[in-house]
Structure 1
Amino acid sequence: MSEAFAYSRIPVADYLRAERTADVRHEYVDGEVFAMVGASRRHNHIGGNLYIALRAAADPRGCAVYSNDVKVRVEAANAFYYPDLVVTCAAGDDDPYVVHAPSIIVEILSDSTEAIDRREKRLNYQRLPSLTDLLLVAQDERRIDHYRRGPGGWDHVVYTGGAVVPLEGLGAALRLEAVYAGSGTAQPM
């Protein structure tokens, strides 16, 4: 006779408590936790360039930019994710470990995470009422997939080469040349 495997989900409070002292970051999706892998040097370089550009645009507007180690709560999916960068402009969004009302989220794609970033995370992030812009940033070519909330829903525009990505909520634009400067990422053919 076979025995059924009993699976128990981890409560949110237990996840949050454990995450404060964990040596490895974990994302949380409906009671399951998933360890985060390290990033490449190129990933880190692109993330640094994005942080500098976003911070320059966010600070004058009273917005805050966080990278890597701050979680985003997606209540509708019962999930906590660690995006590569997150911008919040919401007054009162002051939890020291979690952003609850992001305006902009950036995920830098890698071979091991791209499929999850493009499907699960994108769809869940788009459920956040405060989110206006989601950027999926390639590492191996100069390409940013920009999902922008419009009056009729989400618009998707792909920017390549030397294009400029408008971020209307910050009154700013990201130049791909600046995003990829010094990263060794080639322009698309």
Structure 2
Amino acid sequence: MVTAIAKKSAIEEYLEQENRNIDKSEFIQGEIVKMAGASANHNILTGKLHALLLFALEDRGYSVFMSDMRLWLPVFESYLYPDVMAIAEEPIFTDSKQIALTNPCFIAEVLSTSTEGFNKSQKFTLYRSIPQRSPRCRKRK
């Protein structure tokens, strides 16, 4: 009797790798892309933006997340780590472990010389696949 062995999907392999590693990677349409460490300036800007949004939106029913929260984009089967995300109403996670969100209405990326081109073109295209779920979120054209 032949036993079929189920091959892990690329997504499952990526998630297992992320759980084992200290370094973060993004999963973009089947490809694992290692993320470079951020500069001090990048961290300062991201932290300030997160703090400003957190204080401005906290009492309005929004949740604000920083760069360690993963975003799942099902249309492109991709996991990304935006620098800052805001979610209107309740966050929708991919599972009970709450490792990835699916419903941001605001995403910010702090640009550097090395990431600007990718963030403005490819990543922006990926982000635009997020459906507008809340009337409190307006999709930018």
Asked if TM exceeds 0.5, the reply is yes
Q: How many residues get paired?
A: 128
TM-score by length of structure 1 reads: 0.62
- 1:160 is aligned to none
Which one has the bigger strand percentage?
A: 1
User: Which structure 1 residue ranges, 4+ long, deviate > 4 Å from structure 2?
Assistant: none
- Is 1:53 paired with 2:55? no
For 1:35, give the aligned amino acid.
Answer: K
- In the other structure, the counterpart of 2:25 is 26
Extract unaligned runs of 5+ from structure 1.
1-8, 133-147, 155-189
Contact 2:25–2:35 at 8 Å: present in 1 too?
Answer: yes
Q: Percent identity?
A: 28
Higher helix residue share? 2
Taking only aligned residues, the RMSD between alpha carbons, in angstroms, comes to 2.1
What is the SS of the residue equivalent to 2:126?
helix
For residues 91 and 47 of structure 2, the distance between their equivalents in structure 1, rounded to whole angstroms, comes to 26
2:99 paired residue number: 97
In structure 1, how many angstroms separate the alpha carbons of the residues matched to 2:79 and 2:89?
Answer: 18
Counterpart contact for 1:90–1:101, Cα < 8 Å: no
How far did residue 62 of structure 1 move? 2.1
Aligned to 1:76, what secondary structure does the other structure show?
A: coil
What's the TM-score, normalizing by structure 2? 0.82
**1:73 alignment counterpart:** 72
Gaps of 5+ in 2: 1-7
The structure whose Rg is larger is 1
Equivalent position of 2:139 in the other structure: 149
Q: Is the 8 A contact 2:70 2:100 kept in 1?
A: yes
